[in-house]
Structures are given as structure tokens and as C-alpha cells.
């Protein structure tokens, strides 16, 4: 199969033929139809997240079950599936209490070498997916069957960007009607946090970004107000829109320490700031306890929207099919694998909410 490989951080991906193993017990082989480009993929390629080269990136994928390993009963050959980085063992404490996204074994190594280059060198699959390839080999817990008539590029969006943003609001923060929300960064995750806030009945829903085009897009997805952080004092504007209190919830979807600190300052007394975006692993956040204690603010993390993919993905599919969730409007560009570096560059420049690599 062909795959786009990162051999050197910060350099263009190299497309070449690689070998893929048959599925081991509990695994499935998926012929991919689409993989969306997430900003964490870009962080990976630039060497800003832990992990060595060489690797195959990409984790927002969808495709068709090509082969199943021994013991797999949740899907069968030919099924249309969403492919997620959300491995769950099903037996640890967090899986048993209904929090499979926190599975204690989620970062365990695969049982065998899944893919290797033409020289036989193993290639790691970033996010335990490696979706910048024609096929992937993943644990059966990472796939969810979807209806055959669901467009596969839209299915790919559900596997990360949609659930991370939407779920952060609905599952992790549990925003209620009329509570105020700020979303910092209107990319593929931020736009879905906006959708989640609108679904929850929040008001006002304030989109903060530096590009007017993205903020205008946020209005289409449910934002009630926008703030351009390059023209305005964003914290002051947020206070004006929240009767001087600050926001009940602030969602930081960009991978920036400065954005986390700025967003935290926009939260109200007893307000909650949810950090979603991944800053470079070498950067550290420093906040004085005096910013927390006197006003009882909360600073929490949000991982993958706190979702149970076996439950939440079918629900989101239904929302899309009934017109309550926008997916078509998120995709700006569709590219073949051969143009993946062009698609990545466009994403990094902020030209697209999501670009998608298409394999069919």
C-alpha cells in the first residue's frame, strides 16, 4: 500500500510503498476512504509532540472493513466504519465506569509490527491509526460501524475534530442553557465547540479568533458574537458581553500557552476554562494560585470530548442526518494522497477548517 511517511521533523512527507501485516487477534484491517488533517497532525510532523520518526500520521479516518482478526465480532468484512484513536480495553476501571476515553491501557504498544517500509524498518502509527495511508491496522475497539449511505469524508470528521469540540461542551463541561461560552480558536475543533454550545442552549456564544473569515463562519455554526483578538482587547469585550462577569465557560482549542492564559483571564468567578488544544510538549503553563482561589475558578483538560464512541458516534450521525449537525460546511478541500503536503500547508495557514485526503 502507499503511505505518506514522516522521516524527518519539519520536512515534507514522503509517499512510498509500505508493507502492512495481517490483523492479529482483536484487530481489523480497514481500507480507507478518507482521512482529515487535524492540527495535532501538524504538531506531530513538526516534532512538537512526543514520539520518534519515522511514522505515518493521520488519525481522523473512515473506511471499509477489509479483514478481521480472530475474536472480532463487533464488525464484519464490508462494514463502513469510522476509525478513531480511541482504543479501549473494556476491562480497566475507566472502561468499566463508562469513561473509555480514559482507558488505562490506551497508550499501550501494538501487539506486533503493523507496518514497515520497503527496507523493513518499522513505522509507528501516530494516534494508533496512521491514517495517511491506503490501509490501516487497528484494534477493533477503535472502529464504529456507520450507515452505508453516510458520506465517508463526513464520517472521518466525526473521529476527532467533531467529537473533541462538541463533546468538550456537552460531555466534559456539561454546559446548560443560558450559560455563557467563549470559544478561542475557530478551526476544526473550535467550530464544533460552537455547535456544541448552540446545541446546549448557551448564551452568549462568543467566538474569538484573529481572522474575520473564520469568525464569520462561526456565526453560521451558532455563535452569537465574535471578537477579533488582534483588533480588540478580547477579555474586555468578553466582559462587556457577559454583564461584566466574564464567561461561565471558556474553551481553548488552539495549542498555545499564551491562549490558555488569555482565555483563563476571560472566565468568570467560578467559571471553567477547558483546555483542548495541544501546545508543544516542551512548553509549560504557569498560573498563580491567586488567580484561582479568591474567585474559585476552574482549569480543566478536555480529551477527545470525553466521548464513548460506541454511543456518541451513532448519535452524531443521527444529528447530521436530521440536519442538526453541520458537517458538509466544515470541509474546504479534498486532496489525493499525492497532494498531502499541499493540503497540510493549507491547513497550517488557517485557510481551511478541515482539508481531507481522499482515497477513492
Q: Where in the chain is the domain with CATH 3.90.180.10?
A: 2-145+327-358
pLDDT tens digits for 90-108?
A: 999 999 999 999 999 876 6
Place 151 in a pLDDT band, splitting at 50, 70 and 90.
Answer: very high
pLDDT at 281: 84
The three-state secondary structure class of 255 is coil
Q: Measure the CA angle with vertex 35, ends 151 and 111; round to 5°.
A: 120
pLDDT at 109: 61
What is the DSSP-derived secondary structure letter of residue 161?
Answer: I
Nearest Cα residue to 56 out of 14, 107, 11, 86: 14
Place 179 in a pLDDT band, splitting at 50, 70 and 90.
Answer: very high
Residues 6+ apart with CB under 8 A from 345: none
| Burial bucket for residue 246 (CB in 10 Å: 0-12, 13-18, 19+) | buried
Residues in the chain, overall count: 360
Place 86 in a pLDDT band, splitting at 50, 70 and 90.
Answer: very high
Residue 69 burial (CB count, 10 A): 17
pLDDT at 234: 94
Quick one: CA torsion of 158, 144, 69, 130, rounded to 10 degrees? Answer: 10
pLDDT at 108: 62
More confident of the two residues 109 and 34: 34
pLDDT at 231: 87
Report how far residue 92's alpha carbon sits from residue 132's, in angstroms, rounded to the nearest whole number.
30
The domain made up of 165-303 is a member of CATH 3.40.50.720: yes
- Whether the CB-CB separation of 39 and 188 falls below 8 Å is answered with yes
The alpha helices in 80-202, defined as continuous H runs, are 93-96, 152-157, 163-167, 190-200
- Mean pLDDT, the chain, rounded, equals 95
Mean pLDDT, residues 295-300? 97
More confident of the two residues 70 and 109: 70
Report how far residue 100's alpha carbon sits from residue 122's, in angstroms, rounded to the nearest whole number.
28
The alpha helices in the chain, defined as continuous H runs, are 39-45, 93-96, 152-157, 163-167, 190-200, 212-220, 234-241, 257-264, 309-321, 340-348
Residues 6+ apart with CB under 8 A from 318: none
Report how far residue 131's alpha carbon sits from residue 115's, in angstroms, rounded to the nearest whole number.
12
Q: Where in the chain is the domain with CATH 3.40.50.720?
A: 165-303
- Whether the CB-CB separation of 83 and 32 falls below 8 Å is answered with yes
Report how far residue 26's alpha carbon sits from residue 73's, in angstroms, rounded to the nearest whole number.
9
Strands 115-117 and 27-36: unpaired
pLDDT tens digits for 230-262?
A: 888 999 999 999 999 999 999 999 999 999 999
- Integer-rounded Cα Rg, in Å, for the chain is 20
- The three three-digit cell numbers of residue 167, written as one number: 463533546
Nearest Cα residue to 105 out of 136, 142, 158: 142
Mean pLDDT, residues 130-143? 97
Mean pLDDT, residues 187-197? 97
Mean pLDDT, residues 17-36? 97
Report how far residue 270's alpha carbon sits from residue 294's, in angstroms, rounded to the nearest whole number.
10
Place 352 in a pLDDT band, splitting at 50, 70 and 90.
Answer: confident
Q: Residue 259 forms beta bridges with which residues?
A: none
Place 306 in a pLDDT band, splitting at 50, 70 and 90.
Answer: very high
CATH of 2-145+327-358, one of 1.20.1370.10, 3.40.630.30, 3.40.50.2300, 3.90.180.10: 3.90.180.10
Residue 347 burial (CB count, 10 A): 23
Residues 6+ apart with CB under 8 A from 12: 341
The alpha helices in 126-256, defined as continuous H runs, are 152-157, 163-167, 190-200, 212-220, 234-241
Place 135 in a pLDDT band, splitting at 50, 70 and 90.
Answer: very high
- Whether the CB-CB separation of 128 and 87 falls below 8 Å is answered with yes
Amino acid at each position: 500500500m502507499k503511505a505518506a511517511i514522516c522521516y524527518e521533523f519539519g520536512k515534507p512527507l514522503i509517499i512510498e510503498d509500505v508493507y502492512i501485516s495481517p490483523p492479529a487477534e482483536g484487530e481489523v484491517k480497514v481500507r480507507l476512504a478518507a482521512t482529515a488533517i487535524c492540527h495535532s497532525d501538524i504538531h506531530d510532523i513538526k516534532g512538537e509532540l512526543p514520539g520518534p520518526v519515522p511514522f505515518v500520521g493521520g488519525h481522523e479516518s473512515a473506511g471499509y472493513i477489509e479483514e478481521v482478526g480472530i475474536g472480532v465480532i463487533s464488525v464484519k468484512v464490508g462494514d463502513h466504519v469510522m476509525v478513531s484513536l480511541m482504543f479501549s480495553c473494556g476491562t480497566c476501571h475507566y472502561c468499566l465506569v463508562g469513561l473509555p476515553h480514559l482507558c488505562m491501557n490506551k497508550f499501550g504498544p501494538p501487539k506486533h509490527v503493523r507496518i514497515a517500509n520497503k527496507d523493513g524498518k518499522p513505522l509507528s502509527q501516530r494516534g494508533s491509526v496512521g491514517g495517511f495511508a491506503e490501509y490501516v491496522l487497528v484494534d477493533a475497539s477503535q472502529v464504529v460501524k456507520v450507515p452505508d449511505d453516510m458520506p465517508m469524508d463526513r464520517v472521518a470528521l466525526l473521529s476527532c475534530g467533531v467529537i473533541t469540540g462538541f463533546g468538550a461542551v456537552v460531555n466534559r463541561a456539561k454546559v446548560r442553557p443560558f450559560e455563557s461560552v467563549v470559544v478561542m480558536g475557530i478551526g476544526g475543533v473550535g467550530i464544533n465547540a460552537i455547535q456544541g454550545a448552540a446545541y446546549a442552549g448557551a448564551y452568549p456564544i462568543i467566538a474569538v479568533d484573529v481572522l474575520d473569515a473564520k469568525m464569520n463562519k462561526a456565526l453560521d455554526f451558532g455563535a452569537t458574537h465574535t471578537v477579533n483578538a488582534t483588533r480588540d482587547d478580547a477579555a474586555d469585550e468578553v466582559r462587556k458581553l457577559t454583564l461584566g462577569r466574564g464567561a461561565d465557560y471558556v474553551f481553548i482549542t488552539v495549542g498555545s500557552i499564551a491562549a490558555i492564559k488569555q482565555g483563563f483571564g476571560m472566565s468568570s468567578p467560578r467559571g471553567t476554562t477547558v483546555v483542548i488544544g495541544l501546545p508543544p510538549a516542551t512548553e509549560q503553563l504557569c498560573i498563580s494560585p491567586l488567580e484561582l482561589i479568591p474567585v474559585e475558578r476552574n482549569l480543566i483538560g478536555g480529551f477527545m470530548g470525553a466521548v464513548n464512541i460506541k454511543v456518541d458516534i451513532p448519535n452524531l450521525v443521527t444529528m447530521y442526518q436530521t440536519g442538526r449537525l453541520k458537517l458538509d460546511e466544515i470541509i474546504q478541500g479534498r486532496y489525493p494522497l499525492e497532494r498531502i503536503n499541499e493540503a497540510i500547508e493549507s491547513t497550517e495557514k488557517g485557510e481551511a477548517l478541515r482539508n481531507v485526503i481522499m482515497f477513492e
